[in-house]
Structure 1
């Protein structure tokens, strides 16, 4: 069907900026926009009926942050606790409280799932279609900022297990955890070795389950304290914001140091991680078998065991671990390739996520679909040849919010520049000679499965994804916007911003 710009313009809700998603990155983007560009009218569309994104969706036992809260939290609303690894309920409440404090919650349109975003060159704006309970709603915006995360909220990833239907018990994916599920006295097999499995197992043990962790291959697991002792002391002697800022920078620099050390000295890092695992497991579990991956540190994201809870559960015999491939499901449980039957009443498939860009919406330019897998990512936040759109994609080696906050600030710089010069369009343009490479430098299964549609990075700036907060801070705050790659265009004579239209109408 041809796109009718005249009809769309008449029916659409007019905005300067439309933000997609009301999770951490969406609330952050809204704060930056209303603080640094207070003249802009904006709205947030959220597919779900609540604030929080990931932290509202996931409700499995023990759900917690996999990064320290001083960096995962908002820089403008410092995390006010020495609890560094926080539970999901606390994080969700923190996001909701922050949105309410700054009036951001008043700008959210819940139950609005974006299905289509079409850039109209003639009008220099996006027409965004949302599906709601009352039918379709259309938005017309000058700039589109997508903060919808990077995976499919509808369904997680589950491999095709042989004879799955033969199992006589319950099969659960953590992304769809049943409310009020009672596991006390139940035999639970948790399939997986990533952050979700490592989070689940100590909590299931605490709830009285007999748990077996079944992994195809080991993962690097590090023991970190749940509380940040230094943060606690800083909060006693410094104002809240100062203590939060110092703690944040401490953790940023420490994480950068350990990441760089691990990449430059993988063998030494591997041995140190394994040494600590041996110490915490004692003779109860063979760490060399179950916690010694074949890949180098940070080829996949590392997992955290706060206060060593997973190691403690294994050491005390409250949980067991099996490293083997799955032959298939049987009525009584899971049969491994080596022939062992792991009896179960419940099987939890903590087997990963399905990646998805832009909340599953189709991205189009003048009606033509955008093949994101063939586009380069500009400064880790925009796509080559796609005008007036940014998307939040956080770090794989640090807290997600760090990069998303830089993206939000950069968007504000772009809008300020275009307003000052009477421009309506900004387009990152790919030049000849820029070679493409994988955007995400991880071997994780969910990344490998998404290679067909994930954007690529270039081999040199500004197309390079640094995975380094200090470098990105310098790039987004201090480099020229007109860098020879970003092209700016004046407003078409027939196009006016929603703010200008409202002023003229008044």
Structure 2
């Protein structure tokens, strides 16, 4: 493949078939699947950071790890060879990088390039991608690329700006305040009094790691979350790996975990009262007798109305039992110079405050998407088959599940787009897009979660429909069945430039 020019107008020989934006799990998976189905595909991955990994390169706080099992979070085509079920962030990033190297994908990645705009030209059936390349050796420079198809593997949140609620009096606090999304390198918290504000996956991941070094850690939450322990020691997996070839064993283990999670989610949705009792009873068994489980671990919502927080081998509960970690369920009244005053009147002294207060939703990585110069607002369009955008030609966005591992849907999306590209090439089509037309379609939120980051930004993402392939389901096995029998022409408009 010839290298696309970064200056002036590109020649026809430099026009790419596909540009993938993002070199995380979704982007590397997309490159593998698109090339697998279309061996002669001319593609490029554009990555704003200096190396692959996406989320697993951005987040570096202590204890960063997967919040779902790594066997379904990993690639279907590249076995995860380590034993643990919840993997450390550095190991995941290294696995993504090793896979990209092994599959020859790394040579197709442009690092340090941030995309600003993608603009579709209807006359040529082509996208123009405008970006800035930042190189340590030269000053930042603007560049444009042209391609036939653009594939967004940019995730769902703002990499630059996490959610930071404005706390009264925070400017009076003389200690250090850190958000996990922008963790400072070399931050020393040994022996310090640490308060972590938050009750989600980030908080429960980092607190056990902090407790090993800090003097004391307080987890301050406004309301509880469901937290369950997942065993890191796998008795069955080593047997499967011993009896079967590596790739086959990986598929068997992956299928097992996907089925296990799907069954759990279904059961908890079907019997929420029983699920609540089972989950809180599990926490109670892991904590000292008479611990106030109902105060700190009994949410107001039903199981899986928000994502479940998984902790490896109950490490959070062990730290609470040891006294190194304290749970506090209360509201913040204000900050002062020494820490936080709660609405109950209690004061939390703190040397370091970590605001694990969540993410900000963002579609398409914040990149401006335009058709013939006219900008498209994400919430004005319906999603189709969970990855195509209504009336937007040659465009895909990889978005994972809310109740299962991200890669399950990301891989399905990549294979669906690969199938679409093969069909277009075989028929000589240069554009394709889903079209709803005059059909009246009520809209629903793209994600069915009650999580704060979803509720705060109802218009950040495209809409989901209520019928057929315009629905966005969060059911991997039903989607997998539909994917197997998918008709690439359903509700699609095809044409030639």
| Global fold match (TM > 0.5) | yes
Q: Distance in 2 between matches of 1:279 and 1:13?
A: 62
* Aligned pairs for 1:330-341 within 5 A: 330-341=336-347
CA positional deviation for 1:230? 1.5
CA contact (8 A) 1:386 1:427 kept: yes
> Are the structure 2 counterparts of residues 138 and 288 from structure 1 closer, same or farther at C-alpha, using a change threshold of 3 Å?
same
TM-score (norm 2): 0.95
Q: Distance in 1 between matches of 2:235 and 2:142?
A: 51
What does residue 482 of structure 1 align with? 489
CA contact (8 A) 1:285 1:315 kept: no
What does residue 503 of structure 1 align with? none
Q: Distance in 2 between matches of 1:416 and 1:25?
A: 20
CA contact (8 A) 1:25 1:401 kept: yes
**Unpaired segments ≥5 residues, structure 1:** 1-6, 493-506
What does residue 364 of structure 1 align with? 370
Q: Distance in 2 between matches of 1:212 and 1:163?
A: 20
CA contact (8 A) 1:81 1:232 kept: no
Q: Distance in 1 between matches of 2:441 and 2:13?
A: 38
The list of structure 1 runs, each at least 4 consecutive aligned residues, that deviate by more than 6 angstroms after superposition, is: none
CA positional deviation for 1:283? 2.8
* Aligned pairs for 1:107-506 within 5 A: 107-133=108-134, 134-283=140-289, 285-431=291-437, 432-483=439-490, 485-489=491-495, 491-492=496-497
CA positional deviation for 1:10? 5.7
Q: Distance in 2 between matches of 1:162 and 1:10?
A: 57
CA positional deviation for 1:12? 10
CA contact (8 A) 1:11 1:138 kept: no
CA positional deviation for 1:186? 0.2
TM-score (norm 1): 0.94
Q: Distance in 2 between matches of 1:479 and 1:98?
A: 28
Partner deviation per Cα, 1:69-108 (whole Å, 9 max, x = no partner): 1100000001112211110111111011000001101000
Q: Distance in 2 between matches of 1:238 and 1:454?
A: 42
Partner deviation per Cα, 1:227-284 (whole Å, 9 max, x = no partner): 3321122112211111111000001111110101111111110110001111111236
CA contact (8 A) 1:127 1:139 kept: yes
What does residue 79 of structure 1 align with? 80
> Are the structure 2 counterparts of residues 479 and 200 from structure 1 closer, same or farther at C-alpha, using a change threshold of 3 Å?
same
Q: Distance in 1 between matches of 2:51 and 2:269?
A: 39
Aligned length: 484
CA contact (8 A) 1:25 1:404 kept: yes
CA contact (8 A) 1:12 1:140 kept: no
CA contact (8 A) 2:361 2:460 kept: no
Q: Distance in 2 between matches of 1:396 and 1:228?
A: 25
Q: Distance in 2 between matches of 1:245 and 1:82?
A: 15
CA contact (8 A) 1:284 1:314 kept: no
CA contact (8 A) 1:19 1:147 kept: yes
Q: Distance in 2 between matches of 1:412 and 1:228?
A: 35
* Aligned pairs for 1:29-40 within 5 A: 29-40=30-41
CA contact (8 A) 2:193 2:214 kept: no
> Are the structure 2 counterparts of residues 426 and 418 from structure 1 closer, same or farther at C-alpha, using a change threshold of 3 Å?
same
CA contact (8 A) 2:218 2:328 kept: yes
- Superposed CA RMSD in Å reads 1.3
What does residue 5 of structure 2 align with? none
